[in-house]
């Protein structure tokens, strides 16, 4: 069957796009290779989503999923193997079938780089977080730690400084650039742990401690913290896309004001784009923007 639009990715960006298309009677298909809701569904608590005081990411994504499902949209749990252009159409091959459409919306997000510890999954949403701006406020006036370096880590440290009682910055290297040190010199509750790595996580229902290994002194130490923020980067995956679209040096997709990529008829929404602020509300916004543009140009 041919569609006007195929949406690849069933997180909140893709679901929002399908919602707008379906309400405008635009034939569309949404494909999700894992689970509906994407990364949002894994969030234990969300308190910065407009008009919702506090809920879980699962509730947000499940409600959106049900809203879309009620509109009788073609929704398929199929893994995309490749997508390519065939004449004026885009052809998407999944592990089960082949589909064509005039437009593609890429909403596959970006994979978070984790520490790789066996205990890590136990405490995701229970002390371990990969987004300081999303979850930092849950640890108000409590001690937290952050692992990582670079621009994002620095911005997260500044944010956590205003929220937490103590902030431990765990850095694998022995130094920080002078311009970074200048920016954090007045953060009184910041304690930097140089040449350290996290080797273990300890807790019960929630995280209570992180175990640090000091590579320079070859010693271990336990830090009592309520939260651990992992800022080791995120990696988008476009290996399945057999069409050249412009990305930045880190592989995030460049889009215009309509969320259209450098290739006409291909759109990108949510965390896979170069958008600096990556939140549930901005992902939903991207889906609405892309689909509204597609509706208008029919």
Question: What is the per-residue pLDDT across 109-147, written as a single tens digit (0 to 9) for each?
Answer: 988 889 999 899 899 889 999 888 788 989 999 999 999
What is the Cα–Cα distance from 166 to 163, expressed in whole angstroms? 9
**What are the φ and ψ backbone dihedral angles of 281, each rounded to 5 degrees?**
-65, -35
What DSSP line would sit under 194-225, residue for residue? TTEEEEEEEESSSEEEEEEEETTTTEEEEEE-
What is the pLDDT confidence band of residue 149, given thresholds at 50, 70 and 90?
confident
**Which residues contact residue 181 at a Cβ distance below 8 angstroms, ignoring those fewer than 6 apart?**
none
Q: pLDDT per residue over 42-93, tens digit each? A: 777 788 889 998 998 889 999 999 999 999 899 999 999 999 999 999 999 9
Write the DSSP symbol of residue 165: S
pLDDT in tens, 153-174: 898 999 999 999 999 999 988 8
The torsion of the CA quartet 245, 246, 247, 253, rounded to 10 degrees, works out to: -60
231's CB contacts (< 8 A; 6+ apart) are: 130, 132, 146, 147, 148, 150, 152, 153, 156
Per the CB < 8 A criterion, the answer to whether 239 and 245 are in contact is no
- What's residue 278's pLDDT? 87
* pLDDT score of 103: 98
- What pLDDT does residue 135 have? 87
113-231 matches 2-110+236-296 in CATH topology: yes
Residue 1: per-residue pLDDT: 65
Q: Token pair of 84, please?
A: 């390519």
- Euclidean distance between CA atoms 235 and 118, whole angstroms: 21
Q: Looking at residues 24-51, what average pLDDT do you find? A: 89
Q: What superfamily in CATH does domain 113-231 come from?
A: FAD/NAD(P)-binding domain (3.50.50.60)
Place of tokens 């073609």: 74
In this prediction, residue 74 carries a pLDDT of 95
CA distances from 253 to 245, 248, 268 (A): 7, 7, 7
| pTM of structure | 0.73
Q: How far is CA 173 from the centre of its chain?
A: 26
| pLDDT-based confidence at residue 40 (cuts at 50, 70, 90) | confident
Question: Which residues, 6+ apart, have CB-to-CB distance to 177 below 8 Å?
Answer: none
Average pLDDT, whole number, for the chain? 93
pLDDT of residue 65: 95
Residue 241 — pLDDT band, cuts 50, 70, 90?
Answer: very high
The superfamily (CATH) of domain 2-110+236-296 is: FAD/NAD(P)-binding domain (3.50.50.60)
pLDDT at 145: 97
Break the chain into its structural domains and give their ranges: 2-110+236-296, 113-231
Q: Does the pLDDT value for residue 211 go beyond 80?
A: yes
Q: What is the pLDDT, as a whole number, of residue 260?
A: 98
Q: Does 217 have pLDDT greater than 80? A: yes
Q: Is the pLDDT of residue 2 over 90?
A: no
CA distance 175 to 168: 15
Query: What is the spatial distance between Cα 68 and Cα 223, in angstroms, rounded to a whole number?
Result: 45
């Amino acid at each position: 069957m041919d569609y006007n639009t195929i949406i690849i990715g069933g997180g909140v960006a893709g679901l929002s796009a399908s919602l707008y298309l379906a309400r405008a009677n635009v034939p569309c298909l949404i494909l999700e290779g894992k689970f509906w809701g994407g990364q949002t569904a894994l969030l234990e608590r969300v308190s910065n989503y407009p008009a919702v005081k506090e809920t879980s990411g699962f509730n947000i994504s499940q409600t959106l999923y049900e809203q879309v499902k009620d509109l009788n949209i073609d929704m398929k749990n199929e893994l995309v193997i490749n997508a390519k252009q065939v004449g004026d159409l885009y052809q998407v091959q999944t592990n089960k079938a082949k589909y064509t459409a005039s437009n593609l919306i890429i909403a596959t997000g970006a994979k978070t780089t984790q520490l790789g510890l066996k205990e890590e999954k136990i405490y995701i949403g229970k002390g371990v977080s990969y987004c300081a701006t999303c979850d930092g406020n849950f640890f108000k006036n409590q001690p937290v730690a952050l692992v990582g370096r670079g621009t994002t880590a620095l911005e997260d440290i500044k944010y956590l400084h205003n929220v937490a009682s103590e902030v431990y910055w765990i850095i694998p290297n022995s130094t920080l650039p002078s311009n970074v040190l200048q920016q954090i010199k007045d953060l009184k509750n910041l304690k930097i742990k140089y040449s350290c790595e996290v080797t273990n996580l300890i807790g019960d229902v929630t995280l209570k401690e992180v175990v640090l290994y000091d590579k320079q002194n070859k010693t271990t130490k336990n830090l009592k913290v309520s939260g651990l923020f992992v800022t080791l980067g995120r990696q988008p995956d476009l290996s399945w896309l057999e069409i050249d679209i412009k990305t930045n040096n880190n592989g995030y997709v460049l889009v215009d004001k309509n969320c259209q990529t450098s290739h006409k008829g291909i759109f990108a929404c949510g965390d896979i784009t170069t958008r600096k602020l990556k939140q549930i509300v901005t992902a939903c916004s991207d889906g609405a923007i892309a689909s509204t543009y597609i509706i208008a140009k029919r």
